[in-house]
Structure 1
Amino acid sequence: MRLYRLLIVDDEPYTVDGLYEFLQEADLPEIEMYKAYSAEEALQRLDRAKFDLVISDIRMPGMNGLQLQKKIKARWPACRVIFLTGINDADYVREALREGSADYLLKTEGDEPILAAIRKAIGELERELMNERVLTMAEARLREALPALRNDWFRRLLQYGIEENGLSQTKLDELECPLQAKLPVLLIVGRVDRWPTVLSATDRSLLMYAIENVVQEHFEPIASQWIAVDESYFTLLAQPRTRVESEEGGLDGPDDSPRWERAVRFAQGALDTVQTACARLLKLSVSVVCGREPIDWVDLTERSSSMRNALVVGVGDGNSMMLLNGGSAGERATRERDEAAAARRKERFGNALENGDSIAAREALEDWFQGAETYPLYVEAYYAAANRLLRLANRWGVSERPGAGFRLEELMNIRAHPSREEAILFLQETADRLIRDKRATQQDRAHCIVDKVNRIIRERMQEDVSLTALADAVYLNPTYLSMLYKQVTGANISEIIVQLRLERAKELLADSRYKIHEVAAAIGFDNAGYFARFFRKHAGVGPQEYRNQSSV
């Protein structure tokens, strides 16, 4: 169960302080409590941090509890408000519940109903994390993000191939793509030949979206998937829309010549119309290269690269081109396939470094160099890996720290390593050192934060040492600070606050110059009676008894 924040609001200090002390000693889930002696003070706290629960009086000078409730809901809609009041008025009850109050209790009802109301509100908050409304909202947001997720997935598919991305009908259905995984695809690559210089990046994105709409409108008779590759290039994958079952029970394939021939002819004619529409409506010159026949999904990476190169080389003045590409295999296709594989290996190595995974980084390097079979490829792979390591070392500040063991001269000199094996081993060891250094730095920072938090608690014990105040002091989110502190020390911050307060109280009680109420104030207690209960609970004896024992 997560940590909850509770705010007690009343214009009567006695009520606030008494309830605060009672709840501090009650058997409740982990709650961080705060006090406010007016609605205005409550709003100041609500503006600084998120609260989960508010216990408030209704009749207060200036702003009453019902007005405060509306402002709470505007700031933190999920916050539960419990009214604790001396007013037994049915109209107030109805209005409070109508505005979303979690509960309405009379001050004369005693302590147990208050605890029950808090536990009930916490239960509602816990259930809300997984209720249907939250799931529905998440689903709606996912649907809003689906076009971007789909485009990103297909863009990676074009860049790295189906082995890296994985291809299945289930995945296509999840992305709401109309294509069939078991059928080949017709590949089309397009380009905006030249953007007007006055256009901003936003204007270009809008126009690319307009081109997508034009394409989709004219390709409606066949199944297609648009992919925005970058600012100027796009790709279109197409298939005949009808699915036909063969006698063997499988989906029809590329040998279904009549259907595919019609689809290719249709695509070529539709592309001609698209070019005309873009020129007239959008004032943009668009070039396209269309495959002559369907290809397997596995060939998309190398074929899309070769078709893009065809647009780069061009024909004539390079504007409004309509090229047909049969997708010849050969040395160029092999080279492009090797480049795609190298890009995948390079990304694996970079991801392993970022994630601090030494084993994965070593494996990625070995795999990367296995593909570098010639000396030029070996040199290219070495310096690409070395540059990645150097970039991370600079970003993490490793190369600047004394004793880091970062041998820059060797890293950027391939001849410093007599053999291929020694070069790979050196890169692996450098990656290990980088990851170890980063991990040690993170741990050092975590320990520094814990030490600072402990110092703040000791120095400001008589002030606000709540989790929120401590988090503000070290520039962290309160929830993350709580988690980090427990990771480093094995204890909750609340436990350490109790421990340090108890230690300081014992020190002061051992000095007879300090009165009991002065000791209480010095460690952050407004009420000597509450301090006495706190001390007895954690020390086993009362403050005066402890002082008497210490003086013996």
Structure 2
Amino acid sequence: MSDREELQLLLVDDEASVVDSLAETLPWPDIGIANVFKAYSGQEALEILNTNSVDVIISDIRMPGMDGMELLAQVKRRWKRIKFILLSGHAEFAYAQQALAHETFDYLLKPASDEEILTKVELAVEALRRERDEYRMHERVAKAFQESLPKLRGELLSELLQGFKYSPERLEKRMDSLKIDLRPGAPYSLMLVRVEGQLLEMDFYSLSLMEYAIVNMAEEWFEDRFALWSCKSVHGYLAFVVTATPEAALELTADGLEQELRHKASQLQLSVDHYLRGTVSVLISKRGEFPLDVKRLYDDLLLALRRQIGSQTGLFVQAADEIEQQPVRSLQRLYEPPLLLHLLESGNWELTEEKLTGIWSELNQRWAHSPEHLTEVFFSVYASYASFAHKNGRALADMIGPALSDVAGLLPSRSAASLQGWMLDSFRMIRQSMENEERDDREVAVGKIKSFVQKHLVEDVSLQTLADFMYMHPVHVSRLFKLQTGENLSDYVLRLKMELAASLLANPAMKSYEVSLRLGYQNPNYFNKVFKKYYSLTPQEYRQKLASTFDDPRTRP
């Protein structure tokens, strides 16, 4: 709500002279009130509320018939956003306090001055404007979220296809927020659509429009029997989670649903050819349970695509059982997101170590005696370590040492135990190297801060000035200094100023007020207060103590 929007006020009191005087004499437009309604009883106030939009009410408590408390109760029950201000005498003060517990905005004690009344109403107006601004902001956010739902749903499915791990509780919450009606353990099939032929020759924008059209076609063809949840996978294919509608699940058997799914998928393929003049290959997986089988079924479809379709176009394939059961499978933890390299780059050392432990655990349980899997893990982890080192402008050997970085003979991949030792030892060296570098960077940054403070001590050394000098946020400057030195930045500046003040006060030729001005304190009294708080002596007392010390023969040089 902008400041130019004006609100409406209702005055309620059985004393007509009070209502008329307030309505006609106070400058209501100056505080944002456009119209003032008048009611001389609680019942008349309700009649006005039933036919007019009112934002603020000022009502007396003691009225014949319906009193102010009863009116308040009805208003809060039917018009929750109205700001209600009670007028009460001292004898009714307890009632006014009780009313505050009933969500009254505020109260006024009689006799209230014009200024008090205007102030209370202006506060109510400001509160209403804030609430309406917040409500409209919430509406805009909700609208933007609603418009982003297809994209957000697609991102979640893409993560699941890659093997991203969610706790059951977190996955359920995220799916509820995205309005995806798919419960754990629900049966489903995966459908993969590969765009081919002349469609791939289109520019990015045109291809995106075609893919959008294909998704819409799929939803139209499947909607009477199936619900679809779609995304574009990391391999560039359109992927669909296909679940039967409750009606179809009751009407058809599992074989009937599978047959219906094949029919719908075939019709989709023909529709793309007919309406879009394009070619697609379609693959359908066996049924699985959500979310347990998402990654496995997707990998099976990719394998079927490579084996049964390859470079051919316009084919329709249903993944067979023998395709699903492979004697040798890839390591899941090694390639599922977040990838090892990404965890290293994020600097989350705990999650990185957890990832390494998970990789080794899977390897040790299933492929501990497979030289190929051992070598695969070694090269993948080594590549992540080397890439991370290079992105930090370092050679891997400089971070983990020549012994751990030497790949001659591939000694770390001779056994699962030796590979585990190499992975964790190398990781700890990388972590130590980065933490040392971080400390060095902090030390350099704090050195710059100290140098700036010392050079500009009698000028502006505010936190904002230091932040501008360091190109950092003020909060970060303060935390960085405290982390490195153990001292608050403000305490450090004060300490230097007071030490300089003590040094200047040792010169009897300088007046105390001159020392104050020299240090940037324009108010000598304030300087005296700060100095005494620091040294427990005023500047004059400090000088006297110096003089007595100098006069003492025992302290003379």
TM-score range, shorter chain: 0.5 to 0.7
**Correspondences of 1:376-455 after superposition (within 5 Å):** 376-399=372-395, 404-407=399-402, 410-417=405-412, 419-420=414-415, 421-455=417-451
Distance 1:175 1:466, change over 3 A: same
Residue 542 of structure 1 corresponds to 538
1:159 aligned partner: 162
Aligned-partner Cα distance in 1 for 2:528–2:507? 17
SS in 2 for 1:461: coil
CA distance in 2, matches of 1:401, 1:415: 16
* 2:469 match: 473
Per-residue deviation, 1:466: 1.8
CA contact (8 A) 1:462 1:522 kept: yes
Decide whether the 8 Å contact of 2:341 with 2:385 is kept in 1.
no
Cα offset, 1:226, TM superposition: 0.9
Q: Secondary structure at the match of 2:240?
A: strand
* Maintained 8 Å contact 1:348/1:364: no
Aligned AA (1:268): R
Deviation, 1:162, is: 6.8
Answer whether contact 1:228 1:235 (CA < 8 A) is retained.
yes
Equivalent residue for 1:229? 233
- Do the aligned partners of 2:282 and 2:316 also contact (CA within 8 Å) in 1? yes
Deviation (angstroms), 1:323: 2.4
Taking a change above 3 Å as real, the CA distance of residues 408 and 345 of structure 1, as seen in their structure-2 partners, is farther
Worse overlay, 382-391 or 539-548: 539-548
Q: TM-score, normalised by structure 2?
A: 0.64
Q: Distance in 2 between matches of 1:97 and 1:504?
A: 58
* 5+ residue gaps, structure 1: 1-68, 71-89, 99-119, 245-251
Aligned partner of 2:367 in structure 1 is: 372
Question: Of residues 476, 484, 503 in structure 2, which corresponds to 1:488?
Answer: 484
| 2:307 is the counterpart of 1:318 | no
Change in 2 beyond 3 A, CA 1:235/1:517: same
Q: Which protein is bigger by CA-based radius of gyration?
A: 2
Q: How far has the Cα of 1:430 moved from its partner?
A: 1.4
What is the identity, as a one-letter code, of the residue corresponding to 1:217?
A: E
8 Å CA contact 2:300, 2:323 repeated in 1: no
**One-letter identity of the residue aligned with 1:185:** Y
The corresponding residue for 1:343 is 335
Q: 1:77-121 CA deviation, whole Å, 9 max, x = no partner?
A: xxxxxxxxxxxxx989946999xxxxxxxxxxxxxxxxxxxxx9x
Alpha-carbon spacing, 1:285–1:352, altered in 2? closer, same or farther (3 Å): same
Please give the alpha-carbon distance, in whole angstroms, between the structure 1 residues aligned to 2:151 and 2:307. Answer: 30
- Secondary structure of the structure 1 residue equivalent to 2:179: coil
Farther-moved stretch of structure 1 (209-218 vs 164-173): 164-173
- Cα contact 2:187–2:287 (8 A) shared by 1: yes
Q: Measure the CA separation in 2 of the matches of 1:483 and 1:140.
A: 38
* Contact 2:367/2:373, CA 8 A, preserved across alignment: yes
Which of 244, 247, 263 is the aligned partner of 1:240?
244
* Per-residue deviation, 1:501: 1.8
Per the TM alignment, residue 317 of structure 1 is displaced from its structure 2 partner at its CA by 7.0
Structural mapping, 1:235-384, within 5 Å: 235-242=239-246, 258-279=252-273, 281-291=275-285, 293-297=286-290, 298-313=292-307, 315=309, 318-329=312-323, 332=326, 334-336=327-329, 338-344=330-336, 347=339, 351=343, 354-357=347-350, 360=354, 363-364=357-358, 366-367=360-361, 369-370=363-364, 371-373=366-368, 374-384=370-380
2:281 aligned counterpart, secondary structure: strand
The answer on 1:220 being equivalent to 2:215 is: no
Is the alpha carbon distance of 1:423 and 1:161 closer, same or farther for their aligned partners in structure 2, counting shifts above 3 Å? Answer: closer
C-alpha distance in 1 between matches for 2:206 and 2:440: 47
For residues 491 and 199 of structure 1, the distance between their equivalents in structure 2, rounded to whole angstroms, comes to 62
Distance 1:146 1:379, change over 3 A: same
Which residue type is aligned with residue 227 of structure 2? Answer: A
Tell me the secondary structure at the aligned position of residue 252 of structure 2: helix
Cα distance, 1:157 vs structure 2: 1.9
Larger mean CA deviation between 537-546 and 453-462 belongs to: 537-546
RMSD: 4.1
Structure 1 pair 137–521 and aligned structure 2 pair: CA distance change class (3 A): farther
Does structure 1 retain, via aligned residues, the 8 Å contact 2:506–2:546? yes
Work out whether 1:210 is the aligned partner of 2:204. no
Determine the C-alpha separation between the residues in 2 that align with 1:326 and 1:161.
25
SS of residue in 2 equivalent to 1:185: strand
Change beyond 3 A, Cα 1:312–1:364: closer
Q: Tell me, what secondary structure is at the counterpart of 1:464?
A: coil
TM-score, structure 1 length as denominator? 0.65
Q: Deviations over 1:327-378 (max 9, x none)?
A: 435653x534x34344249936863784123753662453254143311211
User: Match of 2:93?
Assistant: none
Distance 1:473 1:167, change over 3 A: closer
The CA distance in 2 between the partners of 1:345 and 1:482, in whole Å, is 35
**Distance (Å, rounded) in 2 between the aligned partners of 1:457 and 1:349:** 40
1:190 alignment partner in structure 2: 193
CA distance in 2, matches of 1:284, 1:197: 9
* Distance 1:258-1:96 versus aligned 2 partners, 3 A rule: closer
Relative distance call for 1:91 and 1:533 in structure 2 (3 A) is farther
Alpha-carbon separation, structure 2, partners of 1:355 and 1:520 = 49
The Cα offsets for residues 373-393 of structure 1, whole Å up to 9 and x where unpaired, read as 311211111121112122222
Name the structure 2 match of 1:520. Answer: 516
Match for 2:182: what amino acid? Answer: L
How far apart, in 2, do the equivalents of 1:445 and 1:285 lie? 56
Specify the SS of the correspondent of 1:463: coil
Query: Structure 1 residues 364, 511: closer, same or farther in 2, change over 3 A?
Result: farther
Shift of 1:435: 0.4
The percent of aligned pairs where both chains have the same amino acid is: 19
User: Does residue 179 of structure 2 align to residue 176 of structure 1?
Assistant: yes
**CA displacement, residues 119-175 of structure 1 (integer Å, 9 cap, x when unaligned):** x9xxx9xx99xx988877776665555444432332222222778888976654343
Classify the secondary structure of the residue corresponding to 1:214: helix
| Distance in 1, Cα, partners of 2:180 & 2:401 | 48
Q: 8 Å contact 1:193–1:286 — kept in the other structure? A: yes
- Say if 2:193 and 2:238, in contact at 8 Å, map to a contact too: yes
Give how far 1:228 is off: 1.7
